[in-house]
Structure formats: structure tokens, C-alpha cells
A and B are shown apart, each in its own frame.
Chain A
Amino acid sequence: MKTKVNFLLVIALTFMAYACYPGGAEYVDELDTSISKYNNTYDWDNLDDKTYALPAEILHVKDGKEVDPPKEGPHDKDILKQIKSELDARGMIDATATAQDTAVAIAIVIIEQNNTGAAWIPGGGWWGGYPWYPGWGWGGYYPWYPVYYSYKTGSVLIEMGDYANKDEEEETMPLVYTGVLDGLLQGNENYIGARIENGIDELFNKHEPFN
């Protein structure tokens, strides 16, 4: 009898630990992440009067494949407009407007990825009714439930190349900056648009090398 009680105590302790485990993010936008990586030998201090070339359209990649034929997404125009205004605010000049060869070439990619799978969680839908009482039984309950999940992640990639130092033979140029926004693709388009706008704002106004 005592062994059984001890055994149940251990089980109860484990289950309480499960039930009380802290949950992390509660809202979708709490998982949004803005990341920037840059080459710190590039001349970031003298962006004034440097020319840039934004792409005419944004490349869309869905589940690992380029979207073909290219299709404009609901946020493409806003993204291009916002990046242009951030670069202009730093004194940079749109190369397409001046017919000059650009100093910085910019590529933008939007990536959508579907993630699906299954996980086994303890207690499924019914756990949570504590404090429990003596005599609370196990019969009839499955202690583990399968849960199927499906979520979509979205990323916006902003890449900048040092076009002035391009290798014409190899047709390459040094990558000097990558800005990435990552998050869950959930909510209506207005909500997603606002999150992208906030992310671009963070990349340019909170992060080196642009802030």
C-alpha cells in the first residue's frame, strides 16, 4: 500500500510539473523576430549620397519553391515603399532615378513555409482540473493524447550587395547586409502587414548598421 502511495506521489509530482510548466509566447506577434547581420568592414558611416537599386518586384518562395509565374503579394508595395523611405532618410539616392550605376544592390525575398506534424502531449484535453481530490481515478482516461499541428511561418529577407565591388567575371558581389524578419503567418493581412512594418522599422531604427 505504501509503495503504491509513494508511486502515485511521484506520478502526481510529474503531472503537476507538466501542468504548471510556463508557456512562453501567448500571442502570434510575440514570436516575431528581427535579425540583422552585416559586414562591419563596409563603409556604413558614409551612406549619404550612396546610390541604391531596389528590385522591381519581390521574389516569393513557397515551401522551398520559387512561385512561378511571379505573383505580387499583398504587402510587396508597402515593403518596397518603406525600405525606400528608410534609405532616403539616410541620404541615399535611388539609382534608377538618376541613371547612375548603383553602389548598393538590394534583393528582397518572401518565404512561406508550411510546417506540419504530430506530437503526443500528456493529459490531452482534460488535464487542468486541479486541485484534484482523493479518490480521483485514472480509469477511462487516456493519459496521453496525440495532437496534430500545422503552422505557417513567413520570412522577409532583405539582402544588400556591394555592387561597386562586383566581380564582373564571376557575376558576383560581396554581400554586406542581410536583414531577416521571421514570424508565424497567422492573422488577417492587415495584422501581418503591421507586423512586417514594425519589423522593417526595427531593422533600420533599432539595429546596427542603420540606426
Chain B
Amino acid sequence: MNYSISTNLLTNIYLNFKKKDMKFIKSFIIVALALISLEVSAQNKTNAYYGMAIPMGDTKDFINPASFRGGNIEFEKLVNPKLGVGLLIGWNTFYEAKDRATYPINNGEITSNQYRYSNAIPIQATGKYYFASDDAVIRPFIGLAAGTYYMEQRVDNGLFSNTDKGWTFSLAPKAGFLIPMSYSTSLAVSLDYSTSFKSSAIAQQNWLGINVGFSWDY
């Protein structure tokens, strides 16, 4: 059952690529790629993170437990040894199974187990500033990611399902550090605070992300 659900999610993402969204995303990607190709003799980085997330605000009201299902990957170019720009994609799933309870509906009530899902798929441009050079023992950094989230929130009551979905504007300031382990590989840890701004379909969402992964230079 869970497989077909995630297949539906991909189908929904596809079907929800309205022209207007497509235009927004296209111009967004063009700007991101232009930023990446600005420099001349740069180094590249690929950062891959396993991501956990602690829901805040409206996200917490909808789903309380922390998410341990997430990850993201970032392709980064260093425009100078301390400054990187990149493109980030990922996926975070929040989930809560509520005990059997009675909920109000129009002129009536419904009693069921309830399963709540919230999916956030970021496509973001990122900028990072590294405080130490690449031969340091530890390289702290701060950064900002901005772009879009594809958000999908679903509530299942028994055999009934209701989904709200759409593209939202997103911002995520972040801070973290790299610990170089070899010439080209570093351990990477970061914290970010993600905001998915209110859209016509979905309220503003916030969560604190904790990311652990690797960063490769080439």
C-alpha cells in the first residue's frame, strides 16, 4: 500500500506542474544555473545529507512527531574558496498515525483512525559562506536556501483520503560545519530552519532540519 501511495505522490507532482509553476521553476533554475556558471576556475562540491526534521508552528499542529524520513542533495560551485552557490533538491516526509477518534464533519461526525502525511520537496538555490579555508580541521559555514517546495498534505480517515497540495515559496537559513576526512571528502553537519510560505492551498509550514552527511570536492 505504501508503495502505491508514493507513486501517487509522484503522479500528483507531475500533474500539478501547471504552466505557471513550470515557468516559475524554469526561470528559477536558469537563474540558479547562471549563478553557478558565473565563475571561471572553480571547484565543485556535491553534498548529500540524511535529514531529520522537528516540526514547528502549523506543521506541528498538523503533525507532532519529528520526521526521520528525509534527505537532500546539493550541487555546489565555489566561486571563491570561501563562497559557494548551488542547487538543492530533497524530500522530507512527516507522518503521524492518530488513535481512533471522532471528528466533526458538515452536519455530522466521523469516527476513524487517522493517518496524516506531509511531504516537502525542495528545489532551492543555495549560497554558503565558509569561515575557514579547506585545510582547516573544521570548516564552519552559514548559508541560505531559497526557492520552492512542492508540498503535499494528506489526511486519511479509514478508506477516505483528502489531499492539499501545491508549490510554495520557501526560505531556509542554515549553519553547519565540515570536518575534512580526506583530500576530497568531508563529514557535513548542518541545522536549517525551513519556512514554506502560505499558499492558497496550504498554510505556512515551518520545521527545524538536522542534516548529517558528506561533502565531496572535485
Contact = CB atoms under 8 A, between A and B. Distances in A.
A61 B89 CA distance: 50
Contacts of A32: 112-113, 158
Interface in B101-126: 102, 105-113, 115, 117
B108 A120 contact: no
A208 B108 contact: yes
Contacts of A153: 159
Contact of A183 (B100, B117, B158): B158
Contacts of A190: none
Given A22-B117, A206-B102, A13 B73 contact: yes
Contact of B108 (A20, A122, A202, A207): A207
A13 B71 contact: yes
Contacts of A35: 105, 108-111
A10 interface: yes
Interface residues of B, number: 40
Interface string A87-127: 00000000000000000000000000000000111110000
A23 B115 CA distance: 9
B162 interface: no
B92 to A, nearest CB: 9
A25 interface: yes
A53 B7 CA distance: 48
A21 interface: yes
B107 A40 contact: yes
Contact of A24 (B1, B90, B105, B108): B1
Given A30-B113, A33-B159, A182-B158, A21 B93 contact: yes
Nearest to A119: B4
Given A21-B6, A22-B117, A24-B97, A2 B108 contact: no
A153 B72 CA distance: 39
Contacts of A14: 91
Contacts of A33: 110-112, 157-160
Interface centre among A13, A23, A30, A207 (most CB of B within 10 A): A13
Contacts of B160: 33, 182
Interface string B1-41: 11111110000000000000000000000000000000000
B48 interface: yes
20 contacts: A2-B46, A6-B46, A13-B71, A13-B91, A17-B71, A18-B6, A22-B69, A22-B117, A24-B115, A30-B100, A30-B158, A32-B113, A33-B112, A34-B112, A35-B108, A119-B4, A121-B3, A121-B4, A121-B7, A182-B159
Report the 8 A-B pairs with minimum CB-CB distance, sorted nearest first: A33-B158, A121-B3, A22-B95, A37-B108, A23-B2, A33-B112, A24-B115, A34-B111
Given A13-B48, A22-B95, A23-B2, 12 more contacts: A5-B46, A13-B72, A13-B73, A20-B93, A22-B2, A22-B93, A24-B5, A24-B156, A31-B159, A33-B160, A39-B107, A208-B109
Interface of B: 1-7, 44, 46, 48, 69, 71-73, 75, 89-91, 93, 95, 97, 100, 102, 105-113, 115, 117, 156-160, 218
